[in-house]
Amino acid sequence: MARLGDILVRQGCITEAQLQSALIAQGSERGLLGTILIRRSLISPEQLGNALSEQYGVEFVEVIAESINPQVVRLLPEELARERRVAPIAVEGTALQLAMIAPDDMDTICEAELITGYHVEPVVALPNSISAALDRGFDDRVVARQTVVDMKMADLEAAEDMIEEELATDTLEEDQAPVVRLVRAILMGAINAGSSDIHLEPHQPEMRVRYRVDGTLQAVMTIPRHIEEAVVARIKVMADMDTTESRRPQDGQLTIHESGSRVNFRVSTIPTVGGEKVVMRLLDEGSRSFQLEHLGLCQRDLNKIQTLIDKPHGMIVVTGPTGSGKSTTMYSVLSKLNAVSRNIVTVEDPVEYRLPGINQVASDSEHGLGFANALKYIMRQDPDVIMLGEIRDHETAKTAVQAALTGHLLISTLHTNDAVGAVNRLNDLGIDNFKTGGALLGAIAQRLLRSICEHCKEPAESNDHYLNALNHGIDIPPDTIFYRGRGCKKCLGTGYSGRVPIYEIMVVTPRLSEAIEKGLPTTKIREIAVEEGMVELAGAGIEQVIAGKTTLEEVFYKVSG
């Protein structure tokens, strides 16, 4: 077989000197010879493809990932395809066209024929295009969209008959039932995208599917109107819900197993004017690590929280809007406190994660086990640490404060915008300032800010409007470089990937306790808290901007919005 370099020289694409230089560079540069030559702009991808075609004696194919049905790519297991750097790209009759970097690899060809049952016709393709085809083919969100396309093209009556039979018997294999395959692809796509929630929304003309990624909803696909009910029914079956009831809200839970791991989904349905809306919250127990040290706290905040939980009794409240990570913080605190010498009991609505060694109670108002009643029963169980999912009414607040004042460490959440607001909220719930000042150890307010995507991160100009509006009180070094995300494929064009937490921690010192007991205005309490060492949310956000982890815009909209 002729060498690739010699073919390129003979075709006049490069000179002998350029070839020798590239061959020498292979010792230090990563990649195949053709990749190095393209990187140096000495040849084009088309020239490389033609040379490879001549070298191996097979057709060169320019693989376009978007034009390949992902079901074809999945004819081979992902692990094998990536290891051998091959991708099935087309099927015609009994023949399978297999894009390969080395189309003379007979072992891979024979193995592909054995697995797929097709006669393999090898073609040569460039490494990057094969990788792109595999990335797209094994993206469950793409598979879900393609499944819908396949179903649209099928005969409508035949599809409906099959759906009815599936729902009646529930015995079809996953790879045979379109609705089963579609629902699983939606679930797996959410897991792989790092989503926290899935929204299925009945709109005209088609149901919309959105994932919440890094706190922001992103449209993924639409579901045809004629299979909308079947998709919702399939989810209800998996979540052990009543499939015949569509006029009242329902709650359920489903579990899927993938590659040895288990992922739970909390399912909620509610009737709307367009049909049933479904929201599924991902509860991935396998990937969760409830440790304070892993939350992203700076050493200053870590020390403050440690100071609070070292106290034998009193009340700690965690505040913030829905989806700000309050439950994760509380679970991490409980994990830190978890010891054989302590009796820890929680009351939650619902219990989202199981914590080994901790007694967790599911709140159930219908059976007399609401937060307030459950707390009264728990007090008879000799608890050392109590965690309440939320303080939402006077009775719960009164019982919680009483528990904190009688020798228990109590941790709960309040819906307030900042840490200082916890004092006002307790007052609104009917707790007098004297008791609040005596019971409250501290309040932790938090937010989750989107992190700048590391793949498209670039310097940006500071925005004085945001800086002035935040009133952050942080000294910004003159040599600070501000960053933003330009937007790329890795972050789906958003410029953000992942999230970083910020905290505002108010430790109730003797001076603050006195101010609370006196009923001083919120502005005065905040002033004293800052003097006592509290860094406000805006300041914590600016610290993350200075560290190059997020943007001024993100801090402004999450803290000021």
Q: Which of 101, 74, 102, 78 is nearest to 88 (CA)?
A: 74
List Cβ neighbours of 333 (8 Å cut-off, separation of 6 or more).
Answer: 292, 305, 309, 316, 411
Pair (64, 205) in one structural domain:
no
pLDDT digit string, tens, across residues 168-180: 554 444 444 678 8
pLDDT at 397 over 90: yes
Hey, is 15 helix, strand or coil?
A: coil
Give the helix/strand (H/E) hosting 513: helix 510-517
Pairing of strands 359-362, 344-348: parallel
pLDDT tens-digit map of 418-471: 999 999 999 999 999 999 999 999 999 999 999 999 989 999 988 888 888 887
Query: Which CATH number characterizes residue 182's domain?
Result: 3.30.450.90
Nearest one of 311, 307, 292 to 385, comparing CA atoms:
311
Could you tell me if 134 and 187 lie in one domain? no
Say what percent of the chain tops pLDDT 90: 43
CATH of residue 373? 3.40.50.300
Among 284, 312, 338, the domain-final residue is 284
Helix or strand or coil: residue 444? strand
Q: Say if CB 256 and CB 187 are below 8 A apart.
A: yes
Q: Residues 332, 240: one domain?
A: no
Q: Which one-letter DSSP state was computed for residue 391?
A: -
Q: Are residues 351 and 215 in the same domain?
A: no
Q: Give SS3 for 222.
A: strand
Asked, for residue 230, whether it belongs to a domain, the answer is yes
Q: How far apart are CA 493 and CA 162, in angstroms?
A: 39
Report the C-alpha gap between 442 and 315 in whole angstroms.
7
20 and 67 together in one domain: yes
| pTM metric for this prediction | 0.65
Could you tell me if residue 440 is inside a domain? Answer: yes
Does the pLDDT value for residue 231 go beyond 80? Answer: yes
Does one domain contain both 376 and 263? no
- Cα 167 to Cα 233: distance, rounded to the nearest angstrom: 8
Q: Is 107 a member of any domain?
A: yes
How many folded domains does the chain comprise?
3
What are the DSSP calls for 309-368, one per residue? HTSSSEEEEEE-STTSSHHHHHHHHHHHH--TT--EEEEESS--S--TT-EEEE-BGGGT
Mean pLDDT of the chain: 86
In order of 528, 547, 550, the CA distances from 506 in angstroms are: 10, 23, 24
Q: Distance from CA of residue 127 to its chain's centroid?
A: 29
Domain boundary among 256, 284, 312: 284
Is 317 contained in some domain? yes
**Tokens standing for residue 226:** 């004629």
Residues 521 and 395 in one domain: yes
Do both 218 and 340 map to the same domain? no
> Do both 310 and 277 map to the same domain?
no
Q: Is the pLDDT of residue 160 over 60?
A: no
Q: Cis omega (within 30 of 0) on the bond before 350?
A: yes
The answer to whether the beta carbons of residues 91 and 44 sit under 8 Å apart is no
Same domain for 524 and 383: yes
Cα(62)–Cα(273) distance, rounded to whole angstroms? Answer: 48
- Please give the residue range of the domain that contains residue 115: 4-140
> Domain holding 112: CATH number?
3.30.300.160
Instruction: Give the residues across from 282 on adjacent strands.
Output: 265
Q: Which of 124, 140, 156 is a domain's end point?
A: 140
Is residue 479 in some structural domain? Answer: no
In a domain, 550, yes or no: no
CA nearest to 440, candidates 485, 394, 479, 409:
409
In this structure, are 514 and 386 located in the same domain? yes
- Which of 33-47, 131-145, 166-180, 189-203: highest mean pLDDT? 189-203
Looking at the chain, the number of H-run helices and the number of E-run strands are 23, 18
Q: Could you read off the pLDDT of 494-532 as tens digits, one per residue? A: 899 889 999 999 999 999 999 999 999 999 999 999 999
CA distances (Å), 346 to each of 284, 327, 365, 414, 427, in order?
A: 20, 12, 15, 16, 24
Task: Report how far residue 502's alpha carbon sits from residue 544's, in angstroms, rounded to the nearest whole number.
Answer: 8
Within-domain flag for 363: yes
Q: Is the pLDDT of residue 155 over 50?
A: no
In terms of domains, do 354 and 320 share one?
yes
Token digits of residue 399: 């019982």
Bridge partners (DSSP) of residue 253 are 266
Question: What is the average pLDDT across 48-72?
Answer: 85
Cβ neighbours, 10 Å, residue 461: 8
Nearest to 453 by CA among 209, 216, 286, 189: 216
Residue 468 belongs to a domain: no
Question: What is the torsional sign of CA 245, 246, 251, 257?
Answer: positive
